[in-house]
Amino acid sequence: MTKPYLWASLTIALLASSTSYAQYAADALRYSEMNQTGSARFQALGGNHASLGGDPSAIHGNPAGLGFYTRSELTISPAVTGISTKTDYLGTGNSDSKANVNLAQASLVIASQPGFQRKWKRSSLGISFSRQQSFQDTYYYSGRNNRSAYLDNVVENVNRNKTSVAQLEADFESDPTKGGPVAFSVPAAYYQMYLINPTTAAGPPYNAVDQSSVVDQAGSYSATGANTQWTLAYAGNLNDKFYIGANVGFSRLRYKYSRTFRDNYIDSPELISIEQGEDLTVTGSGINLSVGVIYKINPIFQLGGTIISPTFTAIKETFSQNVNAQYVDNLVTGPDGTLITPPYSTLPLAPNDFEYNLVSPLRGNFGATVFLQDKGFITGSIEYADYSMMRAKTSYLSSTDNTNFKNDTKAEIQDTYRSAVNFRLGGEFRANVFRARVGGAYISDPYLSRNDGIDRSKLLFSAGVGVRTSRFFADLTGTMTTYKSAFTPYSLNNVQDYSSVEISNKPVNVMLTLGTFF
């Protein structure tokens, strides 16, 4: 296969089905959701940023909070994130876990000298590195399926699309001097491995080499990466009453996952197993802006809010797949009914590189803080984000295909997601140099419907302690998040013939923030 035809095949594969658009709609949500950010102190308070200041979290949260600084500050926040998941698939439960050490935040705040004779009392400049999202994840699932196998999905797709034998042959390169053996589509790999066979000279309808055996199914998923951001912020203070600030954030996206799915055939005359593997590597760079204000109504009550622009991110990704099969006695039944030795027991699919631009939703938050004299405070906030406004576009394809990708992804996003309102509440108790904090957050489900019956809202519970002296402070916080998600390994025309994996997620994040004044 020549290279121009290779890329034509990949383009057709990308744009031929709604599944591709659903994948990019899901990616848009993955790179846009924000659960909890900030220093250990602010995370202990439930992630509240709207109406509090004097903390390095203000740099990327509500930049107006920098106006509370009376002296300069340097902080660093290492963290440990533990992932714990439980799955239920076809009535079988499994669990998995892993841990990751990371740098959650580092910041520098430069405060100006107070201007006692001016209305603008002081200003501050802040720069920070912050971990906005973590993509660390892992899960494993298994179960016995007596209704279908992944092979049935391949057969249904080629029969629905009326894919010809000529097309399947064209989607395969056997010549090692041209990079072979390599397939350019999943059906082409299955055809070359004699896992699907044509019944006519043209090809369709195709039959699976095994159409009736029970299978033990198992799959795994492991992801790494994060969305990090360098933020530059500036804020001013008018008469110690009105605080206003703005920032610009430069984000860096890194995400990588590996996924496997395996059918182990029970008493099949043809097959021992078929395994699918896929890998995705994503990198991206983005920019966003924020403007925030805080107004101190009186010494015990203040209000605040922030408007955060969409993040405009340029993304590059590489997607690769492979298929492996084990045959009974290393033989398989060919199209003419005779036993033959399959020419391939494993085949890679050609990697697919793609580039596109993603626009996350516009966000806003509003909050209030009540101070309990010198004993502490209670703070709460409401956040809003309309995920149906996410957008993706590309200039990587032809003009027509670029337009199709933009319009169809937009339609998929609007059919899948809605606006979300999140709630956060936290409090701090003070006793001399000691601090104790507790908080929580409710992150609402961004999906329009729950066809699988799963509520994807998230609950966050946090608590922490700290000490603060005239020159130094240290805060330690733990946050547990609990939520459910789902994954469908494959789908079929009859919804009763396939199942989804229900996943219970309970990540725990422990963070230590160390800071000094100067």
Residue-wise pLDDT for 458-510, tens only, equals: 999 999 999 999 999 999 999 999 999 999 999 999 999 999 999 999 999 99
Whole-prediction pTM: 0.90
DSSP-derived 3-state class of residue 471: coil
Give me the pLDDT at residue 346, please. 97
Distance in angstroms between the alpha carbons of the first and the last residue of the chain: 66
- pLDDT tens-digit series, residues 203-219: 999 999 999 999 999 99
- pLDDT tens-digit series, residues 250-277: 999 999 999 999 999 999 999 999 999 9
Say which residues have a Cβ less than 8 Å from residue 177's Cβ, sequence separation at least 6: none
Q: Token pair 């994130």 is at which residue?
A: 81
How far is it, in rounded angstroms, from Cα 342 to Cα 168? 16
User: Is 60 exceeded by the pLDDT of residue 74?
Assistant: yes
The residue type at 515: G
What's the gap between Cα 343 and its chain centre? 39
- pLDDT tens-digit series, residues 319-371: 999 999 999 999 998 888 889 999 999 999 999 999 999 999 999 999 999 99
The pLDDT of 400-426, averaged and rounded, is: 95
The crossing angle, in degrees rounded to 10, of helices 399-416 and 3-15 is: 30
Q: Token pair 């805080």 is at which residue?
A: 294
- Calculate the alpha carbon distances from 48 to 55, 314, 438, 464, 485 in Å: 11, 29, 11, 14, 25
Q: How many CB atoms lie within 10 A of CB 73?
A: 21
How does the average pLDDT of the chain come out, rounded?
93
The pLDDT of 379-385, averaged and rounded, is: 97
How far is it, in rounded angstroms, from Cα 365 to Cα 383? 4
Give me the pLDDT at residue 117, please. 58
* CB neighbour burial string for 79-115, b if at least 16 within 10 angstroms, e if fewer: bebebbbbbbbbeeebebeeeeebebbbbebbbbeee
The residue type at 461: F
How far is it, in rounded angstroms, from Cα 508 to Cα 466? 19
How far is it, in rounded angstroms, from Cα 377 to Cα 299? 12
User: Is 50 exceeded by the pLDDT of residue 412?
Assistant: yes
Give me the pLDDT at residue 115, please. 63
DSSP-derived 3-state class of residue 18: helix
Give me the pLDDT at residue 467, please. 97
Beta bridge partners of residue 504, listed in sequence order: 86, 484
Dihedrals phi, psi of 407, to nearest 5 degrees? -70, -40
Q: Is 478 exposed, middle or buried (0-12, 13-18, 19+ CB in 10 A)?
A: middle
User: Is 50 exceeded by the pLDDT of residue 434?
Assistant: yes
User: Is 90 exceeded by the pLDDT of residue 14?
Assistant: no
CA 181, 187, 193, 197 dihedral sign is negative
User: Is 80 exceeded by the pLDDT of residue 306?
Assistant: yes
* CB neighbour burial string for 217-231, b if at least 16 within 10 angstroms, e if fewer: bbbbbbbbbbbbbbb
Give me the pLDDT at residue 449, please. 86
**Quick one: tokens of 423?**
């709630």
Band (6; pLDDT cuts 50, 70, 90): very low
The pLDDT of 89-96, averaged and rounded, is: 97
User: Is 50 exceeded by the pLDDT of residue 10?
Assistant: no
- pLDDT tens-digit series, residues 16-28: 444 455 689 999 9
Beta bridge partners of residue 278, listed in sequence order: 259, 321
How far is it, in rounded angstroms, from Cα 176 to Cα 197? 25
How far is it, in rounded angstroms, from Cα 189 to Cα 349? 8
- pLDDT tens-digit series, residues 161-191: 999 999 999 999 999 999 999 999 999 999 9
User: Is 80 exceeded by the pLDDT of residue 113?
Assistant: no
How far is it, in rounded angstroms, from Cα 518 to Cα 516? 7
Which helix (H) or strand (E) element contains residue 144?
Answer: strand 137-145
* Kind of pairing between the strands at 434-443 and 376-386: unpaired
**Quick one: tokens of 174?**
């056997």
Cis amide leading into 204 (omega within 30): no
- Calculate the alpha carbon distances from 483 to 28, 202, 247, 330 in Å: 19, 49, 31, 45
User: Is 50 exceeded by the pLDDT of residue 99?
Assistant: yes
Which helix (H) or strand (E) element contains residue 98?
Answer: strand 92-111
- pLDDT tens-digit series, residues 500-514: 999 999 999 999 999
Q: Token pair 């705040």 is at which residue?
A: 109
Q: Which residue has the higher pLDDT, 36 or 115?
A: 36
How many residues belong to the chain? 518
**Contact criterion met (CB below 8 Å) for 328 and 268:** yes
**Contact criterion met (CB below 8 Å) for 114 and 104:** no
The pLDDT of 429-442, averaged and rounded, is: 97
